[in-house]
Structure 1
Amino acid sequence: MGKSLEEINGTVSFDASANAFRKFIMYLGPGLLVAVGYMDPGNWITSMAGGAQYGYILLFIILISSAAAMLLQSMSARLGIASGMDLAQVTQQMANRPLGIFAWILTELAIMATDIAEVIGSAIALDLLFNIPLALGVTITVLDVLLLLMIIKLGFRKIEAIVGVLIFTVLLIFMFEVYLSSPNVSSLLTGFVPSSDIVMNKGALYIALGIIGATIMPHNLYLHSSIVQSRKYDRTDFGKKSAIKYATIDSNIQLSIAFVINCLLLVLGAALFFGSDQELGRFYDLYHALSESHVGGAIGGAVMSTLFAVALLASGQNSTITGTLSGQIVMEGFLKIKLKPWVRRLATRLIAVIPVFICLWFYGSSESKIEDMLIFTQVFLSLALPFSIIPLILATNNPKIMGEQFTNKLWVNIISWILAIVLSVLNIYLIIETIKEFL
């Protein structure tokens, strides 16, 4: 079986004789690309809608989702380094042909759902910043292909740096906006405690599953297992052990930043809009409410709304990069078909814009319908997630794939299986409740 993402595999220097800090710096990067998926436009809409509609109670969901994400991404990184394969290659090897095709189709749909969220988020940001109609904004997002081509030519390390700058731009913007919004600290801290309202209230459960789907994204498990192999670490047991250590540190640090950003998004929605008589929690609602708010004075509202739109655009563009890499990994791993990155990117983006254009055609430039579609994509990701988690657990517990010393510890197996089962049960519950509504 060929190398995962052969064009970048083992291309980034890694000095095994360096001290611990220098090793960490050399390995810093793959976690940034993974963290992008944890703060894309899908996260925005679910977290901010959750805060605006249900206050702080869904902070608990962000907390457990982020903790679960750290575990799953560390397993994904360990799989890539220990086996020398990515999750798509391993799944294709473990499954029979029908199961392999099913897993590929579901993963492709998950990537498309992610891409739809990026399209909608970027198009809305262009509308908010430059008053560009949604249909034209969606068309412009197809040009992301050209942007990606230019970025890829700079080299993989440069891609990591660009992504890092955009992530910290988003972080600083929302730290500033939450500071101005003056949230209730006591209520905020209480939000990290589990509440029965999350399960008893179907609307809250729907948003909670959207947050889970937006936080633990299926394509990120495939992405991480591949890009951790970009470093030139020794492919010996000792070299792999060291690489796993620094890959895990990198991943946990970046996902901690993503956790903070997602909490800031929800806190901003709750602090400014929870309990309001208005129907808030969507991008346009929040943008206009921010622009009209008196937080930070008369000028403050305009600054906050503009920064909100800038951060949304940065988030959408960031996700474009990782979505393309994930698509390439999945197609090559499952089908062993290699396409040029720009061909793959163009095909994925054109497919992603079709349902958005259909929605615009049926409903016109209906802001609420477009944003409903975005929330649905995140819930779909939650429904698809167990089908990526289960192969990951099976693979990382298989000594023939991992080697004896790199298989899961008992506690990792227990927690990951509980996560897969609980998520599956909640998904089934939501499907049943949704069907009941239509009967």
Structure 2
Amino acid sequence: MVKLKFGPATLVAAAFIGPGTVVTASLVGANYGYALLWALLFAIAATIVLQEMAARIGVVTQQGLGENLRLAVQQPLLRQLFILLVVAAVVVGNSAYQGGNLTGASLGARSLWGDLTWVTFFREDVRINPWAVILGGLAAIILWQGQYKRIEKILIALVVLMSVAFLITFALSKPDFRAILTGLFLPSVPAGALLTTMALVGTTVVPYALFLHAASARERWFSGENKASDESTTAALTEAKADIYTSIPLGGLVTLAIISTAASAYFGSNEEITGAADLAVSLQPVFGDLATYLTAFGLLAAGLSSAITAPLASAYALTGVLGWSTNMRGWRFRATWFCIIIIGVLVSSLGIQPFALIVFAQVANGILLPLITYFLLLVVNQKRMGKFANTARQNIVAGLVFMIALALGLRSIWLALT
């Protein structure tokens, strides 16, 4: 029996439940009610499969995905291609998305505590959003400590608080549990919902979370050890599985709560929703002030947690694939996440829409996701994994997930190009 436990997988939940997921889930509920919940159920199952392999690689090899990639891919040209893809999809991509993380967190903060005076920067028409600066600075302070276990505890607290906020809002919205069960277990795709269905899956199954999980699993259980015994590795993997089966489903439950709340407030009405901020404001006349404040607080926690995990994952990925030190207090590691936070603050503050960067990142992610999934399968079946390598059943399940990853990758490329 798997016990409930919070650990590195909570960072994954913090990563995929960001403002982008809140917006996507809100639009799913508002436009299609409970009909697409089966896609969320599948996304959580696929995430569990991929993240379990990533965590197992991190624990057994005591290396992140970046380091394993350098060892597994010996052909120089192919290795350079992988490195370029990782830099493009994870580092450049997260630089663009960090602006959205801080913007979402700022919206939540403004809903709770009001606007702050914008600060003029060099010219009258160039102003800095103080909430973005404050929240970006808070993320930097947390990461600068360079202590994995402390960062993990902070992110666990944020995920728990976010979960409580959205789940109480879910209860206040008086959900239709029969419709929820129907949506979960009787798959259907309403007219015009195909791309939205794939978007819901795509916001949960993301490449950078795999880098984050492998590296954080190593940090959590074997940081500083030279060689782990089979007994200690088995014990760590047992804890890692308990962590995965606690944190990832909790993340799915939060997404379900957001979909259900939006469905209760909007589905079947003439009102339109364009983002998470609309959801927070519109809940007040229907479900009262408490629902509005809880949704705003959930958005703040979701944005801040993603604003911490995105730079952290980028630093792990970049230092790993380039063969640099992955020490969290190393200057290259710190420089990577610091640059991403700065870019995010500027994007959020100045109202920049980095469309070119986002399109570029979507294409890179579309190529990287199936390749990283294949790479996971390659590494987890190598001899160095020993008795902890995949079983035949695990390979079959992972192979099916690979096909879905390929479809998601092609979708990302197609959307970006069109």
TM range, smaller chain: 0.7 to 0.9
Out of 132, 144, 147, the position equivalent to 1:141 is 132
Q: Which moved more, 1:61-70 or 1:240-249?
A: 240-249
1:291 aligns with 2:280: no
Query: Do the aligned partners of 1:65 and 1:212 also contact (CA within 8 Å) in 2?
Result: yes
1:417 aligns with 2:406: no
Query: Do the aligned partners of 1:81 and 1:244 also contact (CA within 8 Å) in 2?
Result: yes
1:345 aligns with 2:337: yes
1:1-44 Cα shifts (integer Å, max 9, x gaps): xxxxxxxxxxxxxxxxxxx99xx79x842222222113222221
Partner residue in 2 for 1:265: 258
TM-score by length of 1: 0.79
1:46-79 Cα shifts (integer Å, max 9, x gaps): 1111111111112111101111111111101110
1:393 aligns with 2:377: yes
Q: Where does 1:47-58 land on structure 2 (aligned, <5 Å)? A: 47-58=25-36
Partner Cα separation in structure 1 for residue 96 and residue 198 of structure 2: 15
Partner residue in 2 for 1:326: 313
Partner residue in 2 for 1:108: 91
Partner residue in 2 for 1:228: 217
Out of 52, 57, 80, the position equivalent to 1:74 is 52
Q: Report the CA distance shift for 1:142/1:376 in structure 2 as closer, same or farther (over 3 A).
A: farther
Query: Do the aligned partners of 2:136 and 2:345 also contact (CA within 8 Å) in 1?
Result: no
Out of 1, 4, 13, the position equivalent to 1:35 is 13
SS at match of 1:322: helix
Q: Which amino acid aligns with 2:369?
A: L
Query: Do the aligned partners of 2:366 and 2:413 also contact (CA within 8 Å) in 1?
Result: no
Query: Do the aligned partners of 2:315 and 2:334 also contact (CA within 8 Å) in 1?
Result: no
Q: Which amino acid aligns with 2:320?
A: G
Partner Cα separation in structure 2 for residue 378 and residue 432 of structure 1: 9
Q: Where does 1:5-404 land on structure 2 (aligned, <5 Å)? A: 28-95=6-73, 96-105=78-87, 106-129=89-112, 130-132=114-116, 140-144=131-135, 146-152=137-143, 153=145, 155-197=147-189, 201=192, 204-230=193-219, 231-232=221-222, 235-280=228-273, 282-293=275-286, 295=287, 301-338=288-325, 340=331, 341-353=333-345, 360=351, 384-399=368-383, 401-402=384-385, 404=386
TM-score by length of 2: 0.83
Q: Report the CA distance shift for 1:164/1:136 in structure 2 as closer, same or farther (over 3 A).
A: farther
1:295-336 Cα shifts (integer Å, max 9, x gaps): 2xxxxx222112211121112112222223212111111113
Give the unaligned 5+ runs of structure 2.
119-125
1:328-381 Cα shifts (integer Å, max 9, x gaps): 1111111134553543222112334555567x368xxxxxx99xx999988985
Q: Report the CA distance shift for 1:34/1:136 in structure 2 as closer, same or farther (over 3 A).
A: farther
CA-based RMSD of the aligned residues comes to 3.3
Q: Which moved more, 1:246-255 or 1:150-159?
A: 150-159
Partner Cα separation in structure 1 for residue 196 and residue 361 of structure 2: 12
